[in-house]
Structures are given as structure tokens and as C-alpha cells.
Amino acid sequence: MRVLHIDSGREMRGGQWQALYLMVGQKTLGWEPVLLAPGASPLAREAAERGVDCRMLSLRAVAAESKSAAITHAHDARSHTMAAIAARGPFVVSRRVAFPVRAGLLSRWKYRRAARYLAISAYVARQLTAAGIPEEKVAIVFDGVPVEGRTGGIGDRLLTPEWNDPRKCGEAGREAARRAQVELHTSSRLKEDLPTARALLYLSELEGLGSAALLALSFGVPVIASEVGGLPEIVHHGVTGLLVRHDPAEIAAAIRMLMDNRELAARLGVQGREMVKGGFTLAHLALRTVHEYKKVLG
């Protein structure tokens, strides 16, 4: 069956990678994904290289292409609006952000239109139902990541992702690293850098799930994460990593614990990788999403 994907992003961030992984996975399941995206977007380029039919995003294109699709899938807020206005047939929406749904007439109209919401975590699902969206229209579909690389936290470096959002990591992380007397390496290429890591420091004031944290776990690297949003759903304290409050002293103690105890870091890393293999792979992402499509289509 044909599924129309809509993504308005112009950068290749977590949501775009998930959309790409999903489309590739759907092809292996016998579905025919078609992508509407800005023509020069990295997602359009990456998808085209993998054999996905890509076309220019516009309201007219949404209306035209959705007519021949069994279902339409919007991947971000602007795409949600475009689908609500122009989609011909049922559509679902991926909800990745942790902040509450906006109030207002336009927002209420838009959120009534979708057949189903695919929340990235239980935390995000609760935000949707708290806004009045019926529980039967909300499903949890976790991110999926490739399971590759070595296992065990056996590197020596403390990594943190390079953020566009200044609220993430910030001064608390830098101060914690200073107190722990550990150099904090900022990475814009996590896949290349994770094999050298002892741990990933993932601090945030609010988080839907944490795709970079999930990627680290897939490499067998334990995560030190803020106890906020959906992060505790993948960073299980003392099992796949360590959860901390936004306090430099507490963060520093967690850093030192993993830097001083290679055996503990390795054990948490192995357990994190096994957790990913059990429920957060690319196959899980594709199968769960298609399952929700079928429930909508009846």
C-alpha cells in the first residue's frame, strides 16, 4: 500500500532520521512510501538515495498525492497543519516534543482532524491526552535506531551531543565536568565518536525521548541523563545509565562514578544495548507504525 509522508524540516535532525528509517523499513515490509519535503532538504536527498519517491512539498501536493495514498503521515508541526488542511483521506501525526499542546481554536481544530497520534514516549502520550485528545487516538511508537558498533562502555571519553538548543547541557554540564575533572567532548558526529566513549552526558530541561541517548545505548555506551520527560523510559537508573537532577554536584558525582568504574560502565552499556535490541530497533519502529496504520484503516 502507498503511504504519503510529509516533513517540512530543512535540517537533518532526530525527527528527520526517524522519518528516513521508517520509510526504508516500510519498503522492506512491502509498503510504497512517498515523501513530500522541501526540495533542497537533507531528508529528501537521503531518502532519494535509498530509493524513496520524493516530491516537492506544498499544500497542492498534499491534496493531490494524498488522494492515491492509503494513509498520510505528518512528521512535524507544520506538516500536521498542512495535512489537516489538505489531506484527502486519513492521516496520522508523529508527536516528538514534550511541551504541552497549545490552546486555542486553531489548535483544537487541527488536533481533532488526525486519525491517530504516534507519541514518541509515554510522557508525550500523557501530554496529548491531558490536552483532551481521546486515549484511543494516541499510541506510543518509540524511536528506532540501528544496532551496530561494539558493546560495553570501555572507551575513555565523556561525550555530549552538539546542541542547537542552548537549554540542553549548557553551563550545568560544563560545570559538572569541571568538578569531576573530566574533559567534556562535544560531538556533532555521534556515530563516529561513540566507540571511544565511556559515557554520554545528555542533559535537558524537557525531552520527548532522546534519540541521541538511544543511539548511545545502541552502541553499548551508558547515558547520564536528566530525569525529565521521556528520558527515564530509556535511561533506567542503575540499569542502562544514571539519572540526575539539574545540579552540577550530582551530575559530577555520576560522571566520576562511571569514569572511575570501568566495570560498571561496561555492565550498564551491555544492558542498554540489550534493551535497544529488545524494543528500539529499526524493525520495531517500522512494524509498530504499520500496525497503527492498519488499526486506522480497519
Residues 96-114 have pLDDT tens digits of 999 889 888 888 899 999 9
Query: What's the rounded Cα separation, in Å, for the pair 159 and 186?
Result: 6
Whether 110 and 204 map to the same domain: the answer is no
The reported pLDDT for the residue numbered 202 is 96
Whether 122 and 11 map to the same domain: the answer is yes
Strand locations in the chain (E) = 2-6, 32-37, 53-56, 71-74, 91-95, 116-119, 138-140, 157-161, 184-187, 197-202, 223-226, 241-244
DSSP 153: S
The pTM (predicted TM-score) of the whole model is 0.93
**Residue entry with cell 527515564:** 232
Contact 6, 71 (CB under 8 A): no
Whether 106 and 26 map to the same domain: the answer is yes
More reliable by pLDDT, 166 or 238? 238
Whether 266 and 190 map to the same domain: the answer is yes
How much is the average pLDDT of 294-298? Answer: 97
User: Strands 71-74 and 2-6: what pairing?
Assistant: parallel
More reliable by pLDDT, 154 or 123? 123
In a domain, 120, yes or no: yes
**Helix, strand, coil tally for the chain in percent (to 5):** 45, 20, 35
Whether 118 and 181 map to the same domain: the answer is no
Give the residue among 246, 221, 213 at the shortest CA–CA distance from 120.
Answer: 213
Whether 6 and 140 map to the same domain: the answer is yes
The reported pLDDT for the residue numbered 169 is 63
Whether 112 and 217 map to the same domain: the answer is no
In a domain, 152, yes or no: no
Give the residue among 215, 247, 246 at the shortest CA–CA distance from 229.
Answer: 246
The reported pLDDT for the residue numbered 154 is 75
How much is the average pLDDT of 231-255? Answer: 97
Strand locations in 40-156 (E) = 53-56, 71-74, 91-95, 116-119, 138-140
The reported pLDDT for the residue numbered 168 is 59
Contact 119, 139 (CB under 8 A): yes
How many separate domains does the chain show? 2
How much is the average pLDDT of 261-290? Answer: 96
pLDDT above 90 for 279: yes
Identify the domain containing residue 172 by its residue range: 157-278
pLDDT above 60 for 152: no
Rg (CA), the chain: 20
Percentage above 70 pLDDT, the chain: 96
In a domain, 66, yes or no: yes
Q: Can you give the CATH number for the domain in which 178 is found?
A: 3.40.50.2000
In a domain, 150, yes or no: no
How much is the average pLDDT of 271-278? Answer: 96
Whether 256 and 292 map to the same domain: the answer is no
pLDDT above 70 for 165: no
Whether 83 and 183 map to the same domain: the answer is no
Identity of the amino acid at 218: S
Whether 126 and 168 map to the same domain: the answer is no
In a domain, 226, yes or no: yes
- Point out the least confidently predicted range of 50-59, 97-106, 195-204, 211-220: 97-106
What is the tens place of the pLDDT at every residue in 34-44?
999 998 899 99
Query: What's the rounded Cα separation, in Å, for the pair 214 and 207?
Result: 12
What residues does 116 pair with on adjacent strands?
A: 92
Here the cell at position 187 is 560531538
pLDDT above 90 for 167: no
pLDDT above 90 for 224: yes
- Point out the least confidently predicted range of 32-36, 191-195, 250-254: 191-195
Whether 165 and 204 map to the same domain: the answer is yes
Please state the φ and ψ torsions of residue 94, each to the nearest 5 degrees. Answer: -85, 125
Whether 131 and 179 map to the same domain: the answer is no
